[in-house]
């Protein structure tokens, strides 16, 4: 009898980059095939089993009435549901459109909008209970492996709650914000990427979403003192997590 946990991977409104990050596990991916029974993953499988799953990873936000019904069905059939990446957590890049009137956005993209039924983009948690979130656009491979290990051990994954600044200090980087007056989002963004961007001399844009309990108002004030105008500051907070409770005020709600 097959005792491997049954896994499913789904895609809603997003770019498929989170699923690709999963495939990029490469050597570890082959090990995972020995440990999990992947029953549903349309990106890689022709035959998919729609019965029920022990763990489902959901990529992408919810942006249509049809997607609301689909995520509710997935929830019913799943024991442990993971919001896989920033789109599934809070809408991420697709949610930038939420600040423009819906009809205007549709007219901009489609020559004929008669068959379009889109809504504001949100994370899946607006409609169903989520058991775990994997931050990142896309999540780092290490966090994926941590999730799979903890799922096998039936324990909570140990995911980082501190800011990118902590990882930046581990890398002995000179701070771009304080030394060079560059508008780095690192102080309010969740760690997990290893501070890749500041280590390469570029500001953190915020792709891992809000850290635990960030002081977004204070960072917005620092950006203002540095000479950024209100529009630029809003854009910074809207880019990856403007719908999140942590950044909503600074994003201009
Ligand atoms: S979180 Fe980023 S990488 Fe993942 S689907 Fe959304 S836009 Fe793509
Ligand atoms: S460069 Fe950015 S991430 Fe690094 S310490 Fe400064 S503010 Fe934090
Ligand atoms: S934007 Fe920030 S969180 Fe994203 S990879 Fe760069 S440093 Fe990391």
Question: pLDDT tens-digit profile of 129-172?
Answer: 999 999 999 999 999 999 999 999 999 998 888 999 999 999 99
Same domain, 142 and 21: yes
Low-confidence stretches of the chain (pLDDT beneath 50): 1
Residue 50 has a pLDDT of: 85
- The number of CA neighbours under 13 Å toward the Cβ of 134 is 28
The structure tokens listed for 23 are 């495939």
Task: Decide: 117 and 65 in contact? Cβ < 8 Å.
Answer: yes
| Ligand 2 centroid, distance to 118 Cα (angstroms) | 37
**Spacing, Cα 60 to ligand 1 middle (Å):** 7
Same domain, 37 and 95: yes
In which domain, by residue range, is 198 found? Answer: 164-251
My answer on whether 226 and 110 are in the same domain is no
| Cross-strand partners of 6 | 37
Asked if residue 24 and residue 53 are part of one domain, the reply reads yes
Number of residues assigned to the chain: 253
CA of 129 to the centre of ligand 3 (A): 27
Q: Do 171 and 118 share a structural domain?
A: no
* Average pLDDT over the chain, rounded to an integer: 95
Q: Is the pTM of this model over 0.75?
A: yes
Is 175 near ligand 2, meaning CB less than 6 Å away?
yes
1 inside domain: no
Are 88 and 81 a contacting pair, CB within 8 Å? Answer: no
The number of distinct structural domains making up the chain is: 2
Q: Give yes or no: residues 55 and 88 share one domain.
A: yes
How confident is the model at residue 2, as a pLDDT?
57
Residues 98 and 183 in one domain: no
Same-domain check for residues 16 and 80: yes
CATH code assigned at 54: 3.40.50.700
What was the pLDDT predicted at 9?
A: 98
Token pair for residue 88? 């599934």
pLDDT score for 16: 97
Asked if 212 and 162 count as a contact pair (C-beta separation under 8 A), the reply is yes
Please tell me if the CB atom of residue 175 comes closer than 6 angstroms to any atom of ligand 1.
Answer: no
Is residue 146 located within the same domain as residue 197? no
Q: Establish if 159 belongs to a structural domain.
A: no
Measured by CA distance, the residue closest to atom 8 of ligand 2 is 165
Give the closest ligand to the alpha carbon of residue 208. 3
- How close is the Cα of 54 to the center of ligand 3, in Å? 31
Hey, what are 229's tokens? Answer: 């105008």
From 132, 153, 174, the end of a domain falls on 153
């Amino acid at each position: 009898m097959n005792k491997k946990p049954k896994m499913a991977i789904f895609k809603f409104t997003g770019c498929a980059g989170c699923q690709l990050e999963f495939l990029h596990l490469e050597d570890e991916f082959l090990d995972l095939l020995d440990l999990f029974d992947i029953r549903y993953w349309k990106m890689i499988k022709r035959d998919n089993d729609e019965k029920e799953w022990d763990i489902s990873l959901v990529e992408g936000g919810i942006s249509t009435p049809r997607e609301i019904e689909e995520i509710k069905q997935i929830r019913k059939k799943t024991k442990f549901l993971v919001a896989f990446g920033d789109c599934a957590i809070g809408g991420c890049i697709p949610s930038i459109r939420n600040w423009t009137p819906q009809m205007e956005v549709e007219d901009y993209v489609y020559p004929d909008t008669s068959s379009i039924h889109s809504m504001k983009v949100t994370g899946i948690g607006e409609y169903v209970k989520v058991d775990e979130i994997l931050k990142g656009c896309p999540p780092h491979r290490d966090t994926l492996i941590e999730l799979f290990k903890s799922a096998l051990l039936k324990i909570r994954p140990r995911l980082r709650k501190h800011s990118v600044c902590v990882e930046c200090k581990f890398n002995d980087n000179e701070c771009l914000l304080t030394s060079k007056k560059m508008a780095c989002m690192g102080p309010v963004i969740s760690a997990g990427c290893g501070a890749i961007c500041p280590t390469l001399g570029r500001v953190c844009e915020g792709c891992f979403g809000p850290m635990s309990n960030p002081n977004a108002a204070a960072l917005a004030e620092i950006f203002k003192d540095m000479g950024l105008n209100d529009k630029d500051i809003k854009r910074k907070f809207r880019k990856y997590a403007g719908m999140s409770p942590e950044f909503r005020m600074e994003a201009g709600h």
